[in-house]
Amino acid sequence: MPSDLKQWLECRAAQYVAGQGANIITPQQALAPPLAGLQIFDAPLLGFGRADDPLFDTFLSPQIIGPHYLTPRQWMPGSVSVVSFFLPFTAAVRHANRQNFSWPALAWLHARIEGQALVTQLARHLCEGLQQRGYTAMIPLLDERFRIDDAPFPGDRQFRFGNTANWSERHAAYVCGLGTFSLSRALITRRGTAGRLGSLLTDAPIEPDERPYRTYDAYCTHCGACVRHCPVGAITLQGGKSNALCGRMVMDTNIAYGDYYGCGKCQVAVPCESAIPGQPTDLLKYAP
C-alpha cells in the first residue's frame, strides 16, 4: 500500500484550492460590487473510506436514502477506496449570511454556485492526479448515471429541490470519518457544517480513516438553533428537516436570482457553524 498516497492527495487538494483564482469572486461574477475579491473557501479537509464498507449497503434502506442509491462498487466495480472532501466556507461568507435570517446573503449564493464549480474542479484535479499515477478514478456526480430521484414527498412530485439522489456526498463523508449529521441534515465536520462536500472513487489502495463516532448524529447536540433560524419552519426538534419546505425556499431564491439559489440559514450562527459543538469556534455570538 503506497504509504504516501493519502498525504499526497491532501497536499494536492490544499495546493489546488489555495492557488485557484476560482476561489475568488471576480468583478464580472459579483452580484454586487463589494463582493468582488471575496474568497469562498478555506483549506479543505479530506477523509478516506473503503469502497466495500458495509455502511454503504445500509443506505439502500428507504429510511435512509432508498433502493435507488448506488453503492461505490455499483458506480465503479473495481473501486477500492472512497475519497471525500469538505471545503469550509470562509468567515466572510459565513458572517454575511448571519445578517438576515429571512433571505440568503449574496455572498452565500456565490459560495453555493461558484463554490460548487470549484468543488467539481477539485474532484477532477484529484482524479487526474490519481490517473497520472496509474490508478483509475471516477466522480459519481459527474457520471451520466447520476440522477435525482423522483420519489414522492409532500407537495409537488416534480419539485426538484427536496428529492434524493443515487449518490450522497454527505453519506460518503460520514463513512469516510469526516463527520456526523445535524438536525438540519447538514454534516458536522471538525470545521463545522458551513461548506461544500465532494467525493470520488478509485482503485488506489488508500488506508481508510477511523470513524471517531458510532452514531449518525453523534456531534449534534439538538440545541434547536437551526430550528429557530430556518425562515420557512422546515426544521423541527421532533421531525428533523422537511426537504420539501426547504426546497421551496431554495426555489424562491432561484426565481429571484436566476442561476443562483441557496439559503444556508441553518448553517450559520449555530454551535456547529465552524466546529464540532463544544470545541473552539470563531463565533463571537449566536443570533437569538
The pTM of this model reads: 0.91
d(Cα 229, Cα 236) in Å, to the nearest integer?
Answer: 11
pLDDT interval class at 288 (50, 70, 90): very low
Which parts of 89-231 are beta strand (E)? 137-138, 180-181, 187-188, 195-202
- CA–CA separation, 79 and 135 (whole Å): 10
The three cell numbers locating residue 206: 488508500
Give the tens place of pLDDT for each residue, 201-238: 999 999 999 999 999 999 999 999 999 999 999 999 99
Which cell numbers hold the place of 28?
464580472
Reduced to 3 states (helix: H, G, I; strand: E, B; else coil), residue 244 is helix
Judged against a pLDDT cut of 50, whether residue 270 lies above it is answered with yes
**Percent with pLDDT over 90 in the chain:** 83
- Model confidence pLDDT, tens digit, residues 71-114: 999 999 999 999 999 999 999 999 999 999 999 999 999 999 99
Which of 5-9, 166-170, 266-270, 276-280 has the least mean pLDDT? Answer: 276-280
**Model confidence at 151: pLDDT above 50:** no
- Asked whether residue 2 carries a pLDDT value surpassing 80, the answer given is no
SS3 60: coil
Residue type at 281 in one-letter notation = T
